[in-house]
Amino acid sequence: MFSLQNKTAIITGGGSGIGKAMTLLFAKQGAKVHIIELDEKAATDTVNEIGVSASYHICNVTDQKQVIDTFNAIRQIDILVNNAGIAHIGKADTTSEADFDRVMNVNVKGVYNCLFAAIPLMKAKGGGVILNTASIAATVGITDRFAYSASKGAIYTMTLSVARDYLHDNIRCNSMSPARVHTPFVDGFIAKNYPGQEQEIFEKLSKSQPIGRMGTPDEVASLALYLCSDEAAFVTGCDYVIDGGFTRLNN
């Protein structure tokens, strides 16, 4: 089950965190994986860890021409995982225009650019699977995450639109909405914003999930594998929450 043998997958932001976990798992399950990254070291390290079944492309997802050229060079696309994204802390009246534009450019336009480039290639080959990384912030109020929440709300609804529009092209589209996942980004965020309080803040953030801990990248990757596999052939237009009970069990 859950074989990706003879499948070609593109994973944006596939060199670190959740993206890296997906890259490693998809390759293990037989896929030829193409990492789309700006961080060449992260991409190189991940490819070296996998071997010949992975390659990377330095590409800025906010640049449509770069994305189209990169995807056309890969050409064979069975699976697209739109995972690249950035975070931002701020409320509506503390988020600068520049920061708002930056978040939207990466998190929303970046996904649009990849969809724009990939869908014609999928249609030409008779179908494919698209998975977008959204967030619980798309549907739950999160303090100080105005621009980020707006961007992930867009991903949530873009997923529904794509799923509807390409039903008859044999293209499935779903999204995942993780809560807090323990990645190097989280450690860096805590170290930068709470120097000297790292352990205390880590425990506080962990316990904000009713299950009592953060998720792991591997757990999210396992959900991604299911949604991108043939076992999920009947699943489209869905958002899968993976949140340790955050959205339903917090009182």
pLDDT greater at residue 230 or residue 193: 230
**pLDDT tens, residue by residue, 139-172:** 999 999 999 999 999 999 999 999 999 999 999 9
Q: What b/e readout covers 205-233, taking b as 16+ CB neighbours within 10 angstroms?
A: bbeebeeeebbebebbbbbbbebbbeebe
Could you tell me the CA-to-CA distances from 95 to 38, 145, 189, 209 in Å, in that order? 25, 9, 18, 26
Task: Tell me the average pLDDT across 81-96.
Answer: 95
> What does the pLDDT read at residue 250?
76
Enter the pTM of the model.
0.95
With cut-offs at 50, 70 and 90, classify the pLDDT of residue 119: very high
Q: Which CATH number, 3.40.630.30, 3.40.50.720, 3.40.50.11600, 3.10.20.310, labels domain 8-179+217-242?
A: 3.40.50.720
Inform me whether the pLDDT recorded for 41 exceeds 90. yes
Mean pLDDT value of segment 105-125: 98
Which residue ranges does the chain devote to CATH 3.40.50.720? 8-179+217-242
Query: What torsion do the CA atoms of 19, 131, 158, 173 make, to the nearest 10 degrees?
Result: 180
Residue of 56, 148, 166, 240 with catalytic role? 148
DSSP 3-state percent helix, strand, coil across the chain (nearest 5)? 50, 15, 30
Per-residue pLDDT band at 56 (split at 50, 70, 90): very high
Res 192: pLDDT: 86
148 labelled catalytic = yes
Q: How confident is the model at residue 251 (pLDDT cuts 50, 70, 90)?
A: low
> First and final CA of the chain: distance in angstroms?
38
Residue 91 has pLDDT above 70, yes or no: yes
